[in-house]
Structure 1
Amino acid sequence: MTATDDLKARAEELRRLHTDPAILVLVNVWDAASAATVASVPGCRAIATASWAIAAAHGLADGEAIGREGMLRAVETVARAVTLPVTADLEGGYGETPADVGETIERALAAGAVGCNLEDGLRDGAELRDASEAAERIAAARAAADAAGVPVVINARTDVYLRGTDDPEAAFLRGQAYARAGADCIFVPGVVDPKTIRELVEGIDAPVSVLARPGAPSVSELQELGVARVSFGPGPMGVALAALARTASDLLGGGVPAGELSYRPPAA
């Protein structure tokens, strides 16, 4: 099997998982150790990176501060650590033009990713990119994937709710535009109201993805609402670091070493 054939097979499997009856649960990772750990858990079917967590692991802020080169190095490290399909959080696509986004997709494939997040929020965090411009960037990503012969799964993210606006119509219209441009899944992080989630699922002509966090419906409830994919962003890193802080506090206070200190991530 050639490298392209392998990528194509992984991409096709990732695409299938978005229409499987069981919701696709993606526990986000940020490095080889976290990826190998999550991949070893029974029931894990794919791996997703989190841009916030990767940036934090490098001492950087979220919002493309790590740059395309740094992010793709991290994605490649994750992809090499697992045999499952990897979908990468590529933030806004790293570049001013749709052509730049297309190049990012080409290079993400070379790094081993077969799926990606592309968001419509601008780097300053205050505004959304114009919907038509965001759609052009998604179309460029789709064209680059098609040219490579790999059906990359594009998870088009709209940041309507992350901007503090409860506007399901705006999320719906953007989702529809992004689906027409070639997105395979529409990601609406920030929405937690079950009624709104169901309306988006029923109204958008593509699978819908959400971000789960404290206060959001459970994974089981999201599946009942028809959500195709759920991820957790920087949450898993938060859990890991909270556990580290608790352990450090206990040990620095004279505590007994816990059994978890013997845990090691599985080998690839």
Structure 2
Amino acid sequence: MDKGKIFRDLHASTFVMPNPWDVGTTKLLTSFGFKALATTSAGFAFSRGLPDGAVTFEAMIHHCREVTAATELPVSADLERGKGDSPEQAAETIFAAEAAGLAGCSIEDHTGDPDNPIYEFSHAVERVAAAVEAARALKHDFVFTARAENFLWGKTDLDDTIKRLQAFEKAGADVLYAPGLGDVDMVRTVCSAVTKPINIMARPGFTVADLAMAGVKRISLGPWLTNFAYGMLETAAREIQQDGTFGFTRAAMPFGKLQALFREGGAE
């Protein structure tokens, strides 16, 4: 079964791709009938008690192996800027991703440097081109997503974002992604400026129907499910500390349901 081909074919229509952050949430989300999953760099970092961006590439790849081993679904990975800054390291990122069992991955044009957060245009395009060349050299189909990160790092320049996405498309990226777009009109403008499938991260005010009408093919959740889970834990902790009550237990997933779900995976 070529999961890369299965994953690629999903982009013919609009689908939602949620983001688990560990093996347990991978199995839980798989049980709901989603067609594909994606890792979340922020969610995984938070699960390790680290801020987003602080996880090593080696740790991310190990995490990807655990996630792909826990589901039969195609999995794409948020691999941040990849193994390093150079085009050669972008290519190495693709080879490592494929070896981890992934059906696809994304690499972004964020540098990791707060003083200079976005790669210079030509260098960003060279990185994408190198990643595309590596993906095409693989034995199995592999869906490469190129990310333009302007809106996440204070550069709310839609024209430059579109310029980058168009260049990434020309370089051969399979899917294009500009996280942080603020409204459906922006999303529609981006979708109309390129021909490759667009991934959009869910946010308050967006609906699946609206994004599909705007031309979006893939909707990911990024860290939202992780943030929601931590928010519920915070609410429960505050209830215990402030009220001395345990009403939150009424909304907890039943122990037996979790036991049954994870029993299917067998013992380690």
TM-score w.r.t. length of structure 2: 0.89
- Deviation, structure 1 residue 161: 1.4
Aligned to 1:223: 212
| CA RMSD of superposed structures (Å) | 1.8
Amino acid at match of 2:147: R
- 1:17 partnered with 2:10: yes
Give the C-alpha shift of residue 117 in structure 1.
Answer: 1.1
Give the deviation of 1:261 after TM superposition. 4.4
Distance apart, 1:76 and its partner CA: 0.6
Alpha-carbon distance between aligned partners in 1 of 2:37 and 2:234, rounded to the nearest angstrom: 25
| Map 1:26-41 → 2, pairs under 5 A | 26-41=17-32
Partner of 1:3: none
User: 1:163: how far off?
Assistant: 2.5
Mapped partners of 1:237, 1:114: distance in 2: 22
Identity %: 34
- Secondary structure, aligned partner of 1:122: coil
Q: Does 1:154 align with 2:147?
A: no
Unaligned 5+ segments in structure 2 are none
Amino acid at match of 1:220: A
Q: 2:99 aligns with which of 110, 127, 130?
A: 110
Query: Could you say what secondary structure the match of 1:30 adopts?
Result: coil
Q: Any residues of structure 2 matched to 1:159-174 within 5 Å, and which?
A: 159-174=149-164
1:112-261 superposed matches below 5 A = 112-125=101-114, 126-214=116-204, 216-250=205-239, 253-255=244-246, 257-258=249-250, 259-261=252-254
Contact 2:83 2:92 in 1 (8 A): no
Count of residues paired in the alignment? 256
Mapped to 1, the partners of 2:106 and 2:9 lie a distance apart of: 17
Question: Quick check: 1:131–1:177 contact (8 Å CA) kept in 2?
Answer: no
Q: Which runs of 5+ in 1 are unaligned?
A: 1-5
After the TM superposition, which of the residue ranges 140-149 and 72-81 deviates more from structure 2?
140-149
Cα pair 1:27 1:48 within 8 Å, conserved: yes
TM-score, normalised by the number of residues in structure 1 = 0.89
Task: After TM superposition, list the pairs within 5 Å mapping 1:55-70 onto structure 2.
Answer: 55-63=45-53, 65-70=54-59
Indicate the residue corresponding to 1:97 in structure 2. 86
